[in-house]
Amino acid sequence: MRAMRYELSHLDMLEAESIHIMREVAAEFERPVLLFSGGKDSIVMLRLAEKAFWPAKPPFPLMHVDTGHNFAEVIDYRDRRVAEVGLRLVVASVQQAIDEGKIDDETGPRASRNQLQTAVLLEGIEQNQFDAVFGGARRDEEKARAKERVYSFRDEFGQWDPKNQRPELWSLYNSRHKRGQHIRIFPLSNWTELDVWQYIDREEIEIPSIYFAHKRKVYRRDGMLLAFGPQVTLLDGEETVVETVRYRTVGDMSCTGAVLSGARTVTEIIDEVASTRITERGATRADDKVSEAAMEDRKREGYF
Amino acid sequence: MEMLRLATAGSVDDGKSTLIGRLLYDSKSIFEDQLESVERTSRQRGEEYTNLALLTDGLRAEREQGITIDVAYRYFATPRRKFIIADTPGHIQYTRNMVTGASTANVALILVDARKGVLEQSRRHAFLASLLRVPHLVLCVNKMDLVDYDRAIFESIRDEFKDFAAKLDINDLTTVPVSALNGDNVVTRSPNMTWYEGTSLLHYLEDLHIASDRNLIDVRFPVQYVVRPMHNAFHDYRGYAGTVAAGVLKAGDEVMVLPSGLTSTVESVDTFGGSVDEAFPPMSVTVRLTDDLDISRGDMLCRPHNVPAVGQDIEAMVAWMTDQPKLRPGQLLSLKHTTRQVRAKVMDLQYRINVTTLHRHEGVPHLGLNEIGRVRLRTTQPLFFDEYRRNRVTGSFILVDEASGTTAGAGMIIRS
């Protein structure tokens, strides 16, 4: 591709926009925090934050909402990366909230801690008085997200009101909020799944091993391949099989599906993503399959 | 691969959703599960065709009421470009939404139905695109299949629209006859309209030269954040982080700092990857100067012989985006311009413009939701600005209602 003078590639433009947003937040908010799960989107976010403030460290801590059902490879990665950048990590633990009796764990074979994350996330925000919360959500992920602003305002209850969003013009972001309210910030709003992978490739960023093809004991439920583990109770007729799979998203083990794949490098993942015909969340997230507006409903309550 | 931002305007009846659906589908950006979900919902409702509007209408209220509430962002890519579509509804709150979508667009796409011709709504959309100074405007005359691909009909619509556009500030207007439903002239040239000598819509969007739309002349660098590492490796580092709003900055350039008026020289333009030779819009960089000056967020770097206007009195076209409160003289608002946050008092509301007839109504008491008018403001601190027609970054601002916190107005500076 010819590179004209004063021309930027789409990745350069997306990067510039995300960095602009991060600097704006650092300048206008008192206590920002970046949600970091070790998933690919938050990995890209952390790299962008490093870039935005270099040679200084990003002026905010990281937070992970830990469901207690995470993939071990991802937690290892998370801790290694946090040590590398030298930032403080706040862990908001779902298990701890359950142990303290603040929330009830779901029971039964279809139990999921996905819903419980919202309460723990909101408590983490409140306890630490975070007023800006960076998330890695993208508008191409889901149709409710297609209409969400880069600065997504949340009231005292952490709720999102989709019909009453602030207009967002040019690159002028409105940071106004009262004490107790916060604003979710989505610097990757205009990125697609493919952009994220192309960026990981270009920047040569390390990612957790579960994104690459590996053999894993899985079982099939609701058309998805879910990881088998000690927390799983199989339903009648379900059985485990060993398959060569990889993950397209990283979330709670109980509701994040794997896809059959032989992709062992980032380049192979890019080829796979470019030719795939199913959306990222459609292929792999049981939590979105509950209803047409499942994501919107969870977002209203304060989900990521 | 370059990125192009497109704002679309029109109502469901114009076939806008079908056109977007066609672009997404033919570029393989609609996924099977999305299409299946839309087909299922369409069937449940007993609709005759798969309703592609359901692809973009994601909110529960929209699906229930069959309306589009808000600007939806859609993404697709061809091997040549990545596209971002800001899809704005035609009826409900059209001004607020279209102003939002158009504010960042390289191209505005306006749809008309070939059977109905240029409607009031088409004029409004053209006016808003010109007000927001979207550099390129495309008129798609849709549903050509329903008028037997008649050249005379197309040309009469094109000419009528051109007559209206001549009254507006529109630099570049292109007209394409299409049938979104059948795909005529959307991705490939249509064999049904051999009389049409232009390119298909997608080809036009892929080929359009947008690099020159940026202002590479007037150096404007609003300081966003001061980078001070506070660690030993970079003990004395002091850099000014920001996004280049206009012009080209490079090491060795003499710069003037506003508001102080002091001058210095660019020592280096830094990024995470190291220093770069040149910074140009919309790059996010960190600038170091040879002199130790007192510079903070909200200041601006420019060239000593090419400075923006500096002042507290501003005249602007303001699009008002809330009903509570209305904009009225005497009102105090919060104003954000580049990286500056000030307060502003509404000194005068000169007129309200009728966005369909372009008629100016003088002596109106206020601006309500979706109304646009010419306003005089006085700010508590000076702003460093250019006319919006010369620079969309240093010429734009938002007004925030301090009580509710909402973004109440969008302003485009005319002059000081």
CATH number of the domain where residue B379 is located: 2.40.30.10
**Same-domain pairing of B14 and B147:** yes
| pLDDT of res. A2 | 43
The pTM for the full model equals 0.93
**Same-domain pairing of B201 and B240:** no
**Same-domain pairing of B276 and B186:** no
Average the pLDDT over A64-86 and give the result: 92
**Same-domain pairing of B67 and B198:** yes
Contacts of A19 in chain B (CB under 8 A): 243, 284
**Structure token pair of residue B47:** 């609709």
**Same-domain pairing of B37 and B123:** yes
Lowest mean pLDDT among B27-36, B69-78, B79-88: B27-36
Q: In which domain, by residue range, is B292 found?
A: 221-302
Tell how many helices (H) and how many strands (E) occur in chain B. Answer: 8, 23
Written as one letter, the residue type at A87 is L
B65 has a chain A CB within 8 A of its CB: no
**Same-domain pairing of B243 and B319:** no
Extended beta strands in B299-359, E state? 300-302, 309-320, 332-337, 340-353
- Whole-angstrom distance, CA of residue B38 vs CA of residue B63: 11
Residues 6+ apart with CB under 8 A from A150: A21, A168, A173, A185, A186, A187, A189
Average the pLDDT over A92-97 and give the result: 86
Task: Evaluate if residue A28 carries a pLDDT over 90.
Answer: yes
**Same-domain pairing of B207 and B88:** yes
Domain boundaries, chain A: 10-195+294-301, 207-288
| pLDDT of res. B52 | 64
Task: Evaluate if residue A1 carries a pLDDT over 50.
Answer: no
Contact residues, B window 314-333, toward A, CB-based 8 Å cutoff: 321
Average the pLDDT over A93-120 and give the result: 81
Of the partner residues B63, B74, B216, the one whose CB lies closest to the CB of residue A292: B63
Of the partner residues A27, A166, A279, the one whose CB lies closest to the CB of residue B225: A27
Domain count for chain B: 3
**Same-domain pairing of B298 and B386:** no
| CB pair distance less than 8 Å for B280 and A189 | no
| pLDDT of res. B66 | 58
**Structure token pair of residue B86:** 């800001």
| CB pair distance less than 8 Å for B248 and A169 | no
User: Per-residue pLDDT tens for B346-396?
Assistant: 999 999 999 888 999 999 999 999 999 999 999 999 999 999 999 999 999
Of B189, B213, B237, which closes a domain?
Answer: B213
Average the pLDDT over A52-69 and give the result: 94
| CB pair distance less than 8 Å for A167 and B410 | yes
Average the pLDDT over B50-59 and give the result: 64
Contacts of B28 in chain A (CB under 8 A): 277
| CB pair distance less than 8 Å for B398 and A169 | yes
CATH of the domain at B204: 3.40.50.300
| CB pair distance less than 8 Å for A16 and B228 | no
| CB pair distance less than 8 Å for A23 and B336 | no
Average the pLDDT over A221-247 and give the result: 88
Q: Which helix (H) or strand (E) holds A286?
A: none
Q: Nearest CA of chain B to the CA of A183: how many Å?
A: 12
Of B278, B302, B326, which closes a domain?
Answer: B302
Contact A92, A124 (CB under 8 A): yes
CA A180 to each of CA A30, A127, A257, B244, B407: distance values in angstroms, whole numbers, following the listed order? 12, 10, 36, 34, 20
User: Per-residue pLDDT tens for A133-168?
Assistant: 999 999 988 777 888 899 999 988 888 888 788 999
Contacts of A198 in chain B (CB under 8 A): none
| pLDDT of res. A301 | 72
Backbone φ and ψ for A183, nearest 5 degrees, come out as -120, 125
| pLDDT of res. B176 | 97
Q: What topology does CATH give the domain A10-195+294-301?
A: Rossmann fold (3.40.50)
**Same-domain pairing of B205 and B234:** no
Q: How many CB atoms lie within 10 A of CB B228?
A: 15
**Same-domain pairing of B95 and B209:** yes
**Same-domain pairing of B143 and B202:** yes
β-bridge partners, B334: B343, B400
Q: Give the 3-state secondary structure percentages of chain B, helix then strand then coil, rounded to 5.
A: 20, 35, 40
Suggest the residue from A17, A170, A174, A224 to mutate for an interface test with chain B (most B CBs closer than 10 A). Answer: A170
Task: Evaluate if residue B47 carries a pLDDT over 50.
Answer: yes
User: Per-residue pLDDT tens for B156-198?
Assistant: 999 999 999 998 988 899 999 999 888 899 999 999 999 999 9
- Whole-angstrom distance, CA of residue A253 vs CA of residue A101: 22
Contact B409, B325 (CB under 8 A): no
| pLDDT of res. A287 | 58
Q: Nearest CA of chain A to the CA of B370: how many Å?
A: 12
Of B286, B302, B318, which closes a domain?
Answer: B302
- Whole-angstrom distance, CA of residue B132 vs CA of residue B95: 11
**Same-domain pairing of B111 and B240:** no
CA B254 to each of CA A279, B251, B263, B303: distance values in angstroms, whole numbers, following the listed order? 50, 9, 7, 7
B369 has a chain A CB within 8 A of its CB: no
